[in-house]
Structure 1
Amino acid sequence: MLRIRGQIGDWPVDLTVEMDAEDWDQLASRLSPEVVVQAPMAAKASSGPHNDALWDTAQQLLREAGQMDGPRLLAELQALAGGMAAGKRLLVRLRHSEQVHVDAGEDAPVYIWRG
C-alpha cells in the first residue's frame, strides 16, 4: 500500500493506492533506472559476506538524496540489490549506521544522511 498525503493548492490530499508485488517491482524499476543498471556491476564487485561495493552504493544513494522516507528508500535498495531480502538487509544496515539518523515521520520513518 502506498499513501500520499499533502495539498494541491488549498485542497487537502489523502490518497491510498493498493499495489501487489508485481506493481511494486514495476514501480521500483522505473524510479531510478541508473541505479538498476549499476546493480549487476555492484553485486559482482565483492564476494565478501556484506558485499562492500553494494553497501557503498547504498550509502551513496542516501548521501546524494540527503534524506528519504523509508518506503521509497526500501524500493530503491530493492532495485539496487536485485531483491526484497537483500534490499531489507541494506535498509537495516543503514538504520544502524552511525552516519544515518532515522526520524519518525508522519506516515513512515525518514532516513537522514548526517555523515
Structure 2
Amino acid sequence: MLAEEKLKAALDSNSRNAIDIKEHEIGIIESLEPFQINIGGLILTDKNLIINYDLLEHIEYFKILRGTVGDRSETISNGSILFENKLNKDDKVIVRPISKNKYYVSNKVKVGESNV
C-alpha cells in the first residue's frame, strides 16, 4: 500500500468516527446568549446556524386586518404585530445540515410527550 493510500485510509477512518449529523437530528438549546445548541456533544453556535425566522422575535407588517370582536367588525389598516421569540433554554429543536459547517434549525419539538 502506497503512503497516499495509507493516508487516505486513515482520513476515511477518522471521518467515520467523527460526530456526524444525519439528515435530521434533535438538538437541545444550551443557551440563548450566546445562542448554542447541543447535538450529542457537538455544540453549534450562531456562526454555524441558520434559524427559521418564525422561531425568533420578529415583526410582521400588514396592510389590512379585519376581525370580529363580540358583535362588532373591526378593520385596522397599515399596522404591525410583534411575535415573541419561541425558543427557550432546554427546548428541543430539529437541526438539519445544509453545508459542511452550516445547519438549519427548522422547528421546535416536544420529544416523548403525547399531546393527545
TM-score (norm 2): 0.23
Bigger relative CO (Cα 8 Å, ≥ 6 apart): 2
For the pair shown, the structure with the greater C-alpha radius of gyration is 2
TM-score (norm 1): 0.23
Greater strand content: 2
